[in-house]
Amino acid sequence: MVASIFKYLFFAFNLLMAFAMYSGFAENADKINNALEGESAGALVGTGLGAFLLLVLWVMGDIILGLLYLVARPSKR
């Protein structure tokens, strides 16, 4: 019972993080294309930093939720 909750939380978290990555890139793509040279460079650096931090959060969340799922699932004896 608890393992299935963790499994669905794991998948929901992955979908949420994938949507956050996509929306972050999609939102900044228009700003990068329509900006001057310096503004475009700043937008690229900011997008890269944001994507890196989001990726770190994604990996940490996956590790935590994955371990919780593995600990909570019943043994097959």
Res. 67: pLDDT tops 80: yes
- Report pLDDT digits (tens) over 33-55: 888 888 888 889 999 999 999 99
Residues 62, 72: Cα–Cα separation, whole Å:
15
Decide if 15 contacts 61 (C-beta within 8 A): no
Mean pLDDT of the chain: 91
The one-character DSSP state at 77 is -
Percent of the chain with pLDDT over 90: 61
Token readout for 21 is 């990555």
Q: Which helix (H) or strand (E) holds 3?
A: helix 2-33
Residues 3, 36: Cα–Cα separation, whole Å:
51
Q: Where are the domains of the chain?
A: 2-72
Res. 77: pLDDT tops 80: no
Assessment of whether the complete model's pTM goes beyond 0.85 = no
